[in-house]
Amino acid sequence: MKKTSSTVARLVLAATVFASAGTALVAPGTVAAQPASVVRGLPDFTELVEQVGPAVVNIRTLEKVSSRANVNGMDEEMLEFFRRFGVPVPNVPRQHRPQRPQDEDAQPSGVGSGFIVSADGYVMTNAHVVEGADQVLVTLTDKREFKARIVGTDKRTDVAVVKIEATGLPAVKIGDSSRLKVGEWVMAIGSPFGLESTVTAGIVSARQRETGDYLPFIQTDVAINPGNSGGPLINMRGEVVGINSQIYSRSGGFMGISFAIPIDEAMRVSEQLRATGRVTRGRIGVQIGPVSKDVAESLGLGKQQGALVTGVEAGSPAEKAGVEAGDIITRFDGKPIDKVSDLPRMVGSTKPGSKSVVTVFRRGNTRDLTLTIAEIEPDKTARKAADQPKPKAAVATQQLGLLVSDLTEAQKKELKLKGGVRVEAASDAAARAGLREGDVILAIANTEVSSSKELEAVLVKLDKSKPVNVLFRRGEWAQYALIRPAR
């Protein structure tokens, strides 16, 4: 009996030690509660592949290559190898080059992916997949192949719609990309390197990822390679939430970062392409830039937000409404502009001809301006500003390290300005702020200036120990600088 009691005592002591170490004690026949991540385990994608896979297609493009065949003496298959893997085409001595064919046979020019969005044969893909193609071939998972007609492409969003003549086709379900969460599992189906019906999976790494393009991307770690372009990004409900479009790579292959076009924006584009073959977007005729934290504080904006107007196009809706260079657009139709890229997207999605209201912050005050949205035009190269003639006299403004002069009437007319002073030289604090010869100062400390005397009058009243904001124009565009006193 003593032995039994001793054994029980040891077991109790051991249980106490384990419990104090964080190990849960449970009664026999019960299952200990586990963290949610352990209970869920890894997802099973097999049902999703069976459900969505038949609606994913392989896209091949052909081009007539009589003028391009046998570049550097190599046949088309070898050239395709170099193109696909991003290897520069080597030079081959002329004597080793075979004769150029005289016919215009269509040769393979690219491979990509796509997905069927309607049973009557509409297929979505990337614009860069079908760009420049003389012929587009769509292959279904059941090996049927169709010649496709390009309905329309939109380079700004990299979305394209093609049509094949077939009915009763399996179509994908369209999801809501705005509901995606970082860390959510997603899956891609496509044709990397021409390998049809390849499935890869991963998680959403980031939403609203800015890459400098017209729209923010969904960033994932799903393995995407050349040939996956145009294929669907699918959530765990079997819905398409994006179009796989780009990768970040230093080698040409997958490196853990992929980007997909949000399906919400892609569908808006595709609807216009199907209806008219083109996409119309709104424009208001302004050049814009970001608002830095320092500039926002110095102007009294309150927080870093909005889009800084650096230039206003002559005759544009913005000019007619009274928008000026140096304004900060903080709202469009009542919606806040948190960052500079928000404005072109909001304006672009507004129907040309409609009335809109922009809220601008100008020299400490906020005002609403009503304008009529125009239709966007092809990107234009900014005209280089003419060299300004040197004035006969200049006035020293030593406080800021500036040498400035009044604008002549001819200069004001050429620059389409009512006032301002020209920077003849910049040194010390002004140079450190980025000002240089040829800049035209339009305002300082939120006060417009039309002459060097006005500029000096403003400077006399300022606290010389604090930074001062300067609105200036360089070429055709205006921007802010913050001149900090020397310490």
Whether 11 is covered by a domain: the verdict is no
Domain match, 350 and 312 both: yes
Choose the catalytic residue: 118, 120, 128, 213: 128
In a domain, 34, yes or no: no
Q: What is the CATH number of the domain that holds 349?
A: 2.30.42.10
Q: Are residues 295 and 326 in the same domain?
A: yes
DSSP assignment string, 303-341: SS-SEEEEEE-TTSHHHHHT--TT-EEEEETTEE--STT
Q: Which pLDDT belongs to residue 192? A: 85
- Least confident piece of the model among 72-76, 333-337, 367-371: 72-76
Same domain, 152 and 56: yes
Same domain, residue pair 268 and 321? no
pLDDT at 81 over 60: no
CB 48 within 8 A of CB 236: yes
Is residue 256 within 8 Å of residue 233, measured between CB atoms?
A: no
Q: Which two tokens stand for residue 17?
A: 């030690």
Catalytic pick from 113, 154, 158, 245? Answer: 158
Predicted local confidence at residue 115, as pLDDT: 96
* Residue-number span of the structural domain to which 339 is assigned: 282-375
Task: Judge whether residue 1 has pLDDT over 60.
Answer: no
127 and 60 inside one domain: yes
Q: What letter would DSSP give residue 462? A: S
Give one DSSP letter per residue of 243-255, joined into a string: EEEEE--SSSS--
Instruction: Please give the pLDDT value at position 249.
Output: 58
**Residue 256 counted as an annotated binding residue:** no
**Is 337 among the domain residues?**
yes
Any binding-site annotation on 227?
yes
Q: What CATH number corresponds to the domain at position 69?
A: 2.40.10.10
Q: Give percent above pLDDT 70 in the chain.
A: 75
Residues 188-237: pLDDT tens digits? Answer: 999 888 788 899 999 999 887 765 556 788 999 998 888 888 999 999 99
Q: Specify the pLDDT at position 409.
A: 81
Q: What is the pLDDT of residue 213?
A: 54
- Does residue 303 lie in a domain region? yes
Mark residue 346 as left, alpha or beta (left: phi above 0; alpha: psi -120 to 50; beta: remaining): alpha
What digits encode the pLDDT tens for the residues 277-309? 888 889 999 988 888 888 888 888 888 889 999
Of the candidate ranges 74-83, 106-115, 263-272, 327-336, the one whose mean pLDDT is the lowest: 74-83
**Is 128 annotated among the ligand-binding residues?**
yes
8 within a domain of the structure (yes/no): no
Cα–Cα distance measured from residue 436 to residue 81, given in angstroms and rounded to the nearest whole number: 50
Residue 268 sits in the same domain as residue 305: no
Of the two residues 180 and 466, the one the predictor is more confident about is 180
Residues 6+ apart with CB under 8 A from 36: none
Give the per-residue pLDDT at 24. 43
Q: What is d(CA 241, CA 179) in angstroms, rounded to the nearest whole number?
A: 9
Q: Where are the beta strands (DSSP E) in 164-238?
A: 173-174, 185-190, 198-209, 217-220, 232-235
pLDDT per position as a tens digit, 39-76: 467 888 999 999 999 999 999 998 876 544 454 545 55
Please indicate whether residue 197 is annotated as part of the active site: no
At residue 230, the pLDDT reads 92
Is the pLDDT at 85 greater than 60? The verdict is no
Q: Which of 177, 191, 205, 229 is catalytic?
A: 229
Q: Is 120 a catalytic residue?
A: no
Does residue 31 belong to any structural domain of this protein?
no
Domain count, the chain: 4
User: What pLDDT does 13 receive?
Assistant: 41
Mark whether 20 is an active-site residue.
no
Does the global pTM surpass 0.95? Answer: no
Residues 365 and 423 in one domain: no
* Residue recorded with tokens 């065949």: 69
Q: Is 7 within a domain? A: no
